[in-house]
Chain A
């Protein structure tokens, strides 16, 4: 083998190893973060942590029950509003979106998808908090819903577009009306993908903090009223992590572990949904 060829071989081998190493580093970051969450947070996960509310600053003990429930309520309400609108918009884009309005909606969805969530937060403050005169979980949910809709619109459209055109034709040739074809045949075939997109969207907003800072605000007490400020895990982590007490830091890790657990469950469920449906578009 000539010297030149040998050199090229070496370069190839080295670069191959290098990209492998880079990938390893990237994965390592994830492993480290998850590892630290478990190492520093797991020990604080006791029954009290899940069932008690925060105690006054400086004291020890207490839990994040209000935050867990709050996350559930705010994210749930956001999903209740955001999922139908987002999926409906996605269906519109797939079914009727080849015209000018479709182009506009698609463009707007992309713009909104790239908008920093804090900007959406201050928008929600102006439109919901200021007129109402107080912070509320409702305002927070609306801000999160505003983040969900463009996300879901695009993923739903993409999933529905993957359904082969021939299926649509077969249904129409059978005498299905267009709306029925769109819902009972096309959307149903794409259902696994739509569910995946929804779960991913919910996971993403469950972790959001910035849009909630000026809408739901946070609440040290337990509250289930959507017209009052409410605490979420993300808000709690922020307050505790940036606070002065060691006790708070300890609880921040635990709360982060819980939040990450929730996100992980949703992410895995999303992947599983794609795998288990026969014939669904991959």
Chain B
């Protein structure tokens, strides 16, 4: 089923509940992620934001006892439908994790190309162009262009994380999921990643989970506040941070708990 040529991407969840066995950690959450925006998900530890994120690219079901009810729609199609190929889906929705995870036995070039090579062979020139493009979009090209064949482990933490971003971008996904991407980085690395979010949102739809309220305020257009598995409030970032409608949101933002 091919989408219309100029469709606006719609990523949305409809009454999504995520469970481990019988325990629901995300309860009845419905969010629409507008195309080419950044949505931040905030909330105290363990309140389900990461689990929610992992439902969006069907990583949640890889955990022991993980399953969902509800729907996740990409272009109106439920990604949990039986006919959907999970592996292909994950190439359309990329993910960057909390800790940088470059593949240790591969060079920088091979790391970025990793997501491309799975889809059958591509001519060398095409691969080169794709790798360069991804590295440029991740703002890493200038720093590594002379050592593409070197081990990915020679990079600093911040560079490795940008490498993981490049790796996620190379297959040209439509959505980029970021799970606390700056949690293990120093301030310089964090700044790089945040700048990336601004640049990348012109091409991708971004959902970012973060513990850092200032980061959410800096980076996102929309923010959703999770608490104990419920989506307490969702709205435009400036509005949520200055005039939250729910008491819990205000309590969290002003630091009364968390």
Q: Which residues of A contact B (CB under 8 A)?
A: 164, 166-167, 169-177, 180, 185, 188-189, 191, 277-280
8 sampled A-B residue pairs with Cβ under 8 A: A170-B103, A175-B88, A175-B115, A177-B87, A180-B118, A188-B105, A278-B104, A278-B153
Given A172-B90, A175-B88, answer yes or no on A279-B104 (Cβ-Cβ < 8 Å). yes
A169 near B167 with CB under 8 A, answer no
Residues of A contacting B33 in the complex (Cβ-Cβ under 8 angstroms): none
Residues of B contacting A280 in the complex (Cβ-Cβ under 8 angstroms): 104-105
User: How far apart are the CA atoms of A168 and B109 in the complex, in Å?
Assistant: 19
User: How far apart are the CA atoms of A170 and B118 in the complex, in Å?
Assistant: 14
B104 near A175 with CB under 8 A, answer no
Residues of B contacting A177 in the complex (Cβ-Cβ under 8 angstroms): 87, 118
B151 near A174 with CB under 8 A, answer no
Given A169-B62, A279-B151, answer yes or no on A175-B171 (Cβ-Cβ < 8 Å). yes
Residues of A contacting B90 in the complex (Cβ-Cβ under 8 angstroms): 172-175
A149 to chain B, nearest CB (A): 26
Q: Which 8 pairs, one residue from A and one from B, show the smallest C-beta to C-beta distance? A: A279-B104, A175-B91, A173-B95, A170-B101, A174-B115, A175-B90, A166-B101, A279-B153
B101 near A164 with CB under 8 A, answer yes
B59 within 8 A of A: yes
A102 to chain B, nearest CB (A): 14
A174 near B167 with CB under 8 A, answer yes
Residues of B contacting A278 in the complex (Cβ-Cβ under 8 angstroms): 104-105, 151, 153
User: How far apart are the CA atoms of A176 and B89 in the complex, in Å?
Assistant: 11
Partner of B168, one of A164, A169, A174, A176: A174
Interface string of B94-115 (1 = CB under 8 A from A): 1101010101110000000011
Given A170-B167, A174-B168, A278-B151, 12 other A-B contacts at CB below 8 A?
A167-B103, A167-B104, A170-B103, A173-B57, A174-B91, A174-B118, A175-B87, A175-B90, A175-B171, A189-B105, A191-B105, A279-B153
Query: Which has the most chain B C-beta neighbours within 10 Å: A164, A170, A173, A180?
Result: A173
A127 to chain B, nearest CB (A): 40
Given A167-B101, A189-B104, answer yes or no on A172-B114 (Cβ-Cβ < 8 Å). no
User: How far apart are the CA atoms of A263 and B99 in the complex, in Å?
Assistant: 41
Query: Which chain A residue has the least Cβ–Cβ distance from B115?
Result: A174
Partner of B59, one of A172, A176, A180: A172
Query: Which chain A residue has the least Cβ–Cβ distance from B173?
Result: A175
Residues of B contacting A188 in the complex (Cβ-Cβ under 8 angstroms): 105
Residues of B contacting A174 in the complex (Cβ-Cβ under 8 angstroms): 90-91, 94, 114-115, 118, 167-168, 171
A189 near B103 with CB under 8 A, answer yes
Interface size for B (C-beta < 8 A) is: 26
Residues of B contacting A180 in the complex (Cβ-Cβ under 8 angstroms): 118
Residues of B contacting A164 in the complex (Cβ-Cβ under 8 angstroms): 101
B153 near A170 with CB under 8 A, answer no
Query: Which chain A residue has the least Cβ–Cβ distance from B152?
Result: A279
A169 near B97 with CB under 8 A, answer yes
B164 within 8 A of A: yes
B65 to chain A, nearest CB (A): 12
User: How far apart are the CA atoms of A166 and B119 in the complex, in Å?
Assistant: 22
B172 to chain A, nearest CB (A): 12
Query: Which chain A residue has the least Cβ–Cβ distance from B98?
Result: A166
User: How far apart are the CA atoms of A188 and B94 in the complex, in Å?
Assistant: 23
B174 to chain A, nearest CB (A): 13
Residues of A contacting B151 in the complex (Cβ-Cβ under 8 angstroms): 278-279
User: How far apart are the CA atoms of A175 and B164 in the complex, in Å?
Assistant: 14
Interface string of B45-77 (1 = CB under 8 A from A): 000000000000101001000000000000000
Given A173-B90, A175-B171, answer yes or no on A185-B103 (Cβ-Cβ < 8 Å). yes
B220 to chain A, nearest CB (A): 21
B127 to chain A, nearest CB (A): 15
Partner of A279, one of B94, B105, B164: B105
Residues of B contacting A189 in the complex (Cβ-Cβ under 8 angstroms): 103-105
Query: Which chain B residue has the least Cβ–Cβ distance from A174?
Result: B115
Residues of A contacting B101 in the complex (Cβ-Cβ under 8 angstroms): 164, 166-167, 169-170
User: How far apart are the CA atoms of A208 and B80 in the complex, in Å?
Assistant: 55
User: How far apart are the CA atoms of A280 and B151 in the complex, in Å?
Assistant: 12
Query: Which chain A residue has the least Cβ–Cβ distance from B64?
Result: A98
User: How far apart are the CA atoms of A175 and B117 in the complex, in Å?
Assistant: 10
A250 to chain B, nearest CB (A): 49
Query: Which chain B residue has the least Cβ–Cβ distance from A180?
Result: B118
Residues of B contacting A169 in the complex (Cβ-Cβ under 8 angstroms): 59, 62, 97, 101
Query: Which chain B residue has the least Cβ–Cβ distance from A277?
Result: B105
Residues of B contacting A172 in the complex (Cβ-Cβ under 8 angstroms): 59, 62, 90
Partner of B164, one of A170, A176, A185, A191: A170
B60 to chain A, nearest CB (A): 11
User: How far apart are the CA atoms of A188 and B110 in the complex, in Å?
Assistant: 13
Residues of B contacting A279 in the complex (Cβ-Cβ under 8 angstroms): 104-105, 151, 153
User: How far apart are the CA atoms of A185 and B106 in the complex, in Å?
Assistant: 9
